[in-house]
Amino acid sequence: MNYFKINDLVIAKIQGYPWWPGIVSKVLKINKNGEQQYKYKYKINFIGDNSQQILKKHLYNIHILYLYLFKVLT
C-alpha cells in the first residue's frame, strides 16, 4: 500500500539524526522477484537543510501525527 504521495509533508528519522520535517519529492515503486505486492520507498527533501534521503520506514504524515497528538493531549 502506498501511504504517501508527492508533496506530502512528513516527519522522518534517519539513524544518528533527530526526527525532522521533510517533503516527499518522489515515490519509488519496487517489485522484487515477481512478488504480487509492491513495496514503496520515498525520496524525502528535508526542510531547512539541503539534504535528501530515500526511506521506506520511519516516516509519518505530519498532519495525521499532529491530529493524533492533539487528540491524545486534550
What would the pLDDT profile of 22-62 be if each residue is shown by its tens digit?
Answer: 999 999 988 877 666 778 999 999 999 889 999 998 898 88
Instruction: Give the pTM.
Output: 0.79
Provide the CATH number for the domain around residue 49. 2.30.30.140
**Distance (Å, rounded) from C-alpha 15 to C-alpha 19?**
9
Domain count, the chain: 1
**Distance (Å, rounded) from C-alpha 25 to C-alpha 21?**
13
Could you tell me the pLDDT band of residue 11, with boundaries at 50, 70 and 90? Answer: very high
Is 60 exceeded by the pLDDT of residue 74? Answer: no
Find out whether 56 and 42 touch, Cβ atoms under 8 Å: yes
User: Which domain does 23 fall in, by range?
Assistant: 9-73
Does residue 4 fall inside a structural domain? Answer: no
pLDDT at 7: 96
Find out whether 40 and 59 touch, Cβ atoms under 8 Å: no
Find out whether 52 and 41 touch, Cβ atoms under 8 Å: no
